[in-house]
Chains A and B, each alone.
Chain A
Amino acid sequence: MNELETAKYQLCLRLGDSALILGHRISEWCGHAPILEEDIALTNVALDFVGLSRNLLTYAAQLQNEGKTEDDLAYLRDVVLYRNALITEQPNGDFAVTMVRQFFYDVFSYFFYSELCNSHDITLKGIAEKAVKEIDYHLRHSTEWLYRLGDGTAESHQKTKDAVEELWMYTGDMFDIDQNYRLLQENNIVPDMNKIKELWNLKVKTVFETATINVPELGYMQSGSLKGSHTEHLGFLLAEMQHIQRSYPNSTW
Chain B
Amino acid sequence: MENKDHSQGVLWEVFIQGNPGIPHKHAGSLHAPDAEMALQAARDVYTRRSEGISIWVVPAANITASSPEDNGSFFEPSNDKPYRHPTFYKVPDGVKYL
Q: Are A and B co-members of a single complex?
A: yes
Instruction: Kindly supply a per-residue 1/0 record for chain A positions 131-150, scoring 1 wherever the CB is within 8 Å of any chain B CB and 0 otherwise.
Output: 00000010011001000100
The docked-state distance in angstroms from the alpha carbon of A40 to that of B40 is 11
Binary contact readout A21-52 vs B (1 if CB under 8 angstroms, 0 otherwise): 00000000000000111101100100000000
Collect the chain A residues with CB atoms within 8 Å of residue B36's CB. 144
Interface residue total, chain B, C-beta cutoff 8 A: 16
B33:A40 contact, CB within 8 angstroms? no
Q: Which residues of B contact A137 (CB under 8 A)?
A: 43
Residues B33 and A37 in contact, CB atoms below 8 Å apart: no
Q: State which size class the interface on A falls in.
A: 10 to 19
CA A137 to CA B30, docked complex, whole Å = 19
Query: A141 to B40, Cβ gap below 8 A?
Result: yes
Question: In the assembly, what is the distance between CA of A144 and CA of B35, in Å?
Answer: 11
B42: nearest chain-A partner, CB-CB? A37
**Minimum CB distance partner of A43 in chain B:** B44
CB distance from B66 to the nearest CB of A (A): 28
B48 near A41 (CB under 8 angstroms)? no
User: In the bound complex, what is the Cα–Cα distance between A175 and B31 (angstroms)?
Assistant: 38
Residue contact B37 to A144, C-beta cutoff 8 Å = yes
Q: Tell me the complex Cα distance, A38–B45, Å.
A: 9
- Asked if B48 contacts A37 (CB within 8 A), the reply is no
Q: Across the two chains, which residue of chain A brings its CB closest to B46? A: A40
Distance, CA A74 to CA B40, complexed state (A) = 31
Evaluate whether A40 and B37 lie within 8 angstroms (CB atoms) in the complex, with A35-B8, A35-B31 already known. Answer: no
Q: Which residues of chain A are near B44, meaning CB under 8 Å? A: 37, 40-41, 44
B55 at the interface (CB under 8 A from A): no
Contacts of A148 in B (CB 8 A): 33-34, 37
- Chain B residue nearest to A45 (CB atoms) is B44
